């Protein structure tokens, strides 16, 4: 899967990032996970491999990636534990109660994902958001090389401000992989 991701430019989690995430899941005894952004199922499968009792609901809007995820999940015999929802995470209806919500989809939409899904978070749950560094661009002194990228970076800073101002959660930044925010309900 790592090889496929590399060849096809699928932005799966970086090695240190997924190691941090799986360790966090283990140490905090996390069982039910909601993931926004399945891609080819790599992180969903890695999270399930932590423990047999873990289940993941995950959302993907790209048909090619969704199909690839279904194939990979079958190969790991995890069809019963990973529920892949095909559609836009800002439109599909999702139910359930989750110990962890992992946001790893369109980087400009993190505030919307957070607001749409936090009601499904258990009382002492955690929201983890990936790609805060945006490949080093977020905290770079140099302006990003294109208008699109600058806009993206602005959105990431908006998300960081949103978390800082959010009194219901305490958020901490981890400079691991491509940068993670760990937000816990107060």
Site for ligand SAH contains 118 (CB under 6 A): no
64 or 143: CB nearest ligand SAH: 64
Residue 115 makes CB contacts below 8 A (sequence gap 6+) with: none
33, 56, 105, 127: which one binds ligand SAH (CB under 6 A): 105
- Measured CA to CA in angstroms, residue 80 lies from 31, 48, 73 at distances of 14, 11, 9
Query: Which of the listed partners (ligand SAH, Mg ion, none) does 50 bind, with a CB threshold of 5 to 8 Å by partner kind?
Result: none
Q: Give the number of residues in contact with ligand SAH, rule: CB under 6 A.
A: 19
Which is nearest to 118 in space by CA: 98, 137, 133, 138?
A: 98
Q: Mark out the alpha helices in 61-173 (DSSP H runs).
A: 63-75, 110-117, 147-165
**Contact pattern for Mg ion over residues 89 through 128, marking x by CB under 5 A:** ---------------x------------------------
Sheet holding 82-86, edge to edge: 82-86, 55-60, 32-36, 98-103, 121-129, 180-185, 169-174
Regarding 107 and contact with ligand SAH (CB under 6 A), the answer is no
Residue 12 interacts with ligand SAH (CB under 6 A)?
A: yes
Return the residue of 68, 99, 104, 178 that touches ligand SAH, per CB under 6 A.
104
- Report if residue 100 touches ligand SAH, rule: CB under 6 A: no
DSSP codes, 55-87:
EEEEEE--HHHHHHHHHHHHHTT-TTTEEEEES
Taking CB under 5 A as the criterion, the residue among 57, 58, 129, 131 binding Mg ion is 131
Positions in the binding site for ligand SAH (CB under 6 A): 11-13, 37, 39, 42-43, 59-62, 65, 88-90, 104-106, 109
């Amino acid at each position: 899967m790592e090889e496929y991701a590399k060849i096809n430019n699928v932005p799966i989690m970086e090695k240190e990032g997924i190691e941090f995430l799986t360790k966090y899941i283990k140490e905090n005894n996390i069982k039910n996970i909601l993931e926004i952004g399945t891609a080819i199922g790599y992180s969903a499968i890695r999270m399930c491999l932590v423990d047999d009792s873990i289940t993941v609901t995950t959302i993907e809007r790209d048909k090619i990636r969704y199909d690839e995820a279904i194939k990979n999940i079958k190969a790991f015999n995890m069809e019963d534990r990973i529920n892949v929802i095909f559609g836009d995470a800002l439109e599909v209806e999702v139910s359930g109660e989750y110990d962890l919500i992992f946001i790893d989809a369109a980087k400009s939409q993190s505030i919307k994902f957070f607001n749409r899904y936090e009601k499904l978070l258990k009382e002492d749950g955690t929201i983890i958001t990936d790609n805060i560094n945006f490949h080093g661009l977020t905290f770079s002194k140099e302006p990003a090389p294109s208008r699109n990228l600058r806009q993206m970076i602005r959105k990431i800073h908006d998300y960081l401000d949103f978390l800082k101002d959010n009194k219901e959660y305490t958020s901490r930044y981890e400079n691991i992989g491509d940068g993670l925010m760990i937000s816990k309900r107060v």
